[in-house]
Amino acid sequence: MAIDCLVLGAGQEIGKSCVVVTINGKKIMFDCGMHMGCDDHNRYPDFSILSNSGDFDSTISCVIITHFHMDHVGALPYFTEVCGYNGPVYMSYPTKALSPLMLEDYRRIMVDRRGEEELFTSAHIASCMNKVIPLDLKQTIQVDEDLQIRAYYAGHVLGAVMVYAKVGDAAIVYTGDYNMTTDRHLGAAKIDRLQLDLLISESTYATTTRGSKYPREREFLQAVHKCVAGGGKALIPSFALGRAQELCMLLDDYWERMNIKVPIYFSSGLTIQANMYYKMLISWTSQNVKEKHVTHNPFDFKNVKDFDRSLIHAPGPCVLFATPGMLCAGFSLEVFKHWAPSPLNLVALPGYSVAGTVGHKLMSGKPTTVDLYNGTKVDVRCKIHQVAFSPHTDAKGIMDLTKFLSPKNIVLVHGEKPSMMSLKDKITSELDIPCFVPANGETVSVASTTFVKANASDMFLKICSNPNFRFSNSSTQLRVTDQRTADGVLVIEKSKKAKMVHQDEVSEVLHEKDHVVSLAYCCPVKVKGESDDVGLIKQLSEKISETVSCADEIHESETCLQVGSFKGSLCLKEECVHRRGISSSCSEVKFLCCNWSVADLELGWGIINAMKQNL
């Protein structure tokens, strides 16, 4: 059996995450995102690869959305409402709650402000959300008879999950976006140690290794503090959910500690609404927030106020969180236009900015003027600070997770090609796990685990019920092994179910006789004096009991002698097959044809040597 992993989006790029995995015949779509940087047909994943007929219900078993970011959920209304997928859609409770907000916001920006063609409507969003089945953490859901899915906490944003999917014996994990270190408001990713055939991981920061978060936090706080202490205004353009809450929490704490009275504003109603969701979804936040929450909800910010448009030109210092991030449009850009010319002010940019946005221009180099979208130019004299926290894990985090899960294969998505390649090399060389970096539209096939069901014999079961330790003393250390399973033998017969039997039973099951290895040697012996055969045997027996130490009991009969399993009898054949290298020409030499079992290997050779000395 094989697992096929078809990458529809976010293959060697960031944006429109969409991976379709076929496990034992079941097709699961992980994430259904859109590309924020594209305006053409490339905006959505190419669903036509899945089915030319457009009958997605029969091809896709289920869709699982990991979190509410547009590049993970953006294409969902299109897929369900426009393309007509009617199967189950799974996402976590917070994602279900917050996705419509995000989708609606995005639709509004695209349609109302930019006047683009409407790809889905508000009604589409609503009906799409009706199809969603919410997931809870670590809840195992049986999608159908064979397919099991389970969600694990991923950090990143509120409600982000990693998804474990299992069909039969084959199991995979799709990480979505995740964070391996804890934030102020979100915890770090948590997952059990699972037996995996495939891990599909994001790799946004495939080559970055971040240091401790504390100095980074401090830098940000000091930059903002310095700005407001100098009477300046600090603008923090950010998306409504995620970094805004994180930074606000940080600032709020710092304000308390340093006893700063400068106001902190939230620009849009959306963020206030988002804060409300955060307050409700406390169980999805970090341990710290959960514990504090008993006495005080950390999302009830003490110093935060609502912003009013008239405050843009109000004198005095302030801090403003404005949407959207990256300064791509909207209110944040408007405020930037007014505040950028003053050297007192500060623009703090949290996170990643897509190329082409004002945010990206500010981060790359120190421009003195910036072109806005509509052709106006703005003098930039304010200070620019790039906040170096990201809700994505760094390279070490990816390595740590991979090491912890030790999957049989790994596929990297959601990253830039060069850095993904270097991470791929690292994974293959350091962890010795096959790693794949497929581009969009490519399929990776890996072998999957299949277990063979076998019946066990009663004897084997009985013996297995008790431990059977064996201690062995190697040169440096003591080792212990449990012999139970080692004693078992798997018997697979044609057209019969496989059976596990104990090794003692094997011959019986196979209707075969036990085979014994024994050694044979026809040993020349010299007759001393005038003695007959009986006398010779007696002589030999004396000799043996003298020289061979472990020959305890020697049984003699007329022409034979026996010690343990060693049997020797006078050989009368002219050409005995066991006679080697000695011709029978000498008449005084007689031959004793001996055989003995492997167990008495040393004893046998000991006796032979003793008898040869008699020559």
Nearer to another protein, 431 or 576 (CB): 431
Asked if residue 527 lies in contact with residue 586, where contact means CB atoms within 8 angstroms, the answer is no
Q: At 472, list the tokens.
A: 């062995």
- The reply to whether 396 sits near another protein by the rule CB under 8 A is yes
Quick note: the x/- pattern for another protein over 115-144, rule CB under 8 A, is: ------------------------------
480 near another protein, judged by CB under 8 A? yes
Dihedral of CA 11/12/17/23: which sign? positive
* Interacting span for another protein (CB under 8 A) from 331-339, 474-482, 529-537, 544-552: 474-482
Residues numbered 250 to 279 that lie near another protein (CB under 8 A) are 257-258
What would the two tokens of residue 280 be?
A: 């409700």
- Going by the DSSP 8-state scheme, the letter that residue 604 receives in this structure is H
- For 184, the token pair is 């102020």
Nearer to another protein, 302 or 403 (CB): 403
Q: Taking CB under 8 A as the rule, does residue 215 contact another protein?
A: yes
Does residue number 211 form part of the binding site for another protein (CB under 8 A)?
yes
The verdict on whether 202 is a catalytic residue reads: yes
Instruction: Tell me if 466 contacts another protein by CB under 8 A.
Output: yes
- In the set 212, 310, 368, 583, which binds another protein (CB under 8 A)? 212
Q: Is 513 in the site for another protein (CB under 8 A)?
A: no
Q: Which is nearer to another protein, 24 or 182 (CB)?
A: 182
Instruction: Work out which of 292, 337, 361, 538 binds another protein, going by CB under 8 A.
Output: 292
Please tell me the count of residues contacting another protein according to CB under 8 A: 44
Q: What is the DSSP letter of 438?
A: -
Residues 356-395 that bind another protein (CB under 8 A): 394
Of 181-189, 352-360, 384-392, 517-525, which part binds another protein (CB under 8 A)? Answer: 181-189
DSSP output for 107-165: HHIIIIIT-PPPSS-HHHHHHHHHTEEEE-BT-EEESSSSEEEEEEE--TTTT-EEEEE
Of 287, 364, 455, 557, which lies in the binding site for another protein, with binding defined by CB under 8 A? 287
For the record, the structure tokens of 104 come out as 């609606």
Which distant-in-sequence residues (6+ apart) come within 8 Å of 557 by Cβ? none
Q: Which of 104, 169, 334, 400 is in the footprint of another protein by CB under 8 A?
A: 400
Number of Cβ within a 10 Å radius of residue 466 = 7
The whole-angstrom separation of Cα 324 and Cα 570 is 104
Closest CA relative to residue 293, chosen from 305, 283, 304, 307: 283
Q: How far is CA 449 from the centre of its chain?
A: 16
- Please identify which of the residues 13, 81, 202, 217 carries the catalytic annotation: 202
Considering the rule CB under 8 A, would residue 293 count as an interface residue with another protein? no
Q: What are phi and psi of 376, to 5 degrees?
A: -75, 150
Among 59, 127, 288, 584, binds another protein (CB under 8 A): 288
SS3 432: coil
Out of 295, 374, 476, 583, the residue judged to bind another protein by CB under 8 A: 476
**Rounded to whole angstroms, how far apart are CA atoms 316 and 525?**
118
Evaluate whether 162 touches 200 at the Cβ level (below 8 Å).
no
Structure tokens, 338: 């007014």
Point out which span in 268-276, 285-293, 378-386, 544-552 binds another protein (CB under 8 A): 285-293
Angle, CA of 555, 559 and 562, to the nearest 5°: 25
Dist. CA 132–CA 120, nearest whole Å: 17
Instruction: Single out the residue of 188, 333, 540, 610 in contact with another protein (rule: CB under 8 A).
Output: 188
| Interface ranges with another protein (CB under 8 A) | 180-182, 187-193, 195, 209-215, 218, 222, 257-258, 286-288, 292, 394, 396, 400, 403-404, 466-467, 469, 471, 473-474, 476-482
The catalytic site residues sit at 202
